[in-house]
Amino acid sequence: MDTLLESQVSKTHMLTLRLHVNALERHMEWWRKTLCCMVSQWGVALLLN
């Protein structure tokens, strides 16, 4: 009984961990896009000045 419960808990834990990792990756992707956009805008502004 204990082993079944443990495996269930560990499965749930892994699933939660995976969800957190996915969310973090999406967040990092968003940051990278935002930074690239900002940097390119700054570059254009510098070129125009």
Looking at residue 46, its amino acid is L
| Cα 9 to Cα 17: distance, rounded to the nearest angstrom | 12
3-class secondary-structure state, position 20: helix
4 alpha-carbon distance from chain centroid: 31
Tokens of 15: 């699933």
33 pLDDT above the threshold of 80: yes
Number of H-type helices and E-type strands within the chain: 1, 0
**Mean local confidence (pLDDT), 10-14:** 93
Q: Give the total number of structural domains in the chain.
A: 1
- pTM reported for the whole predicted model: 0.58
Segments forming the whole domain that contains residue 19 = 1-49
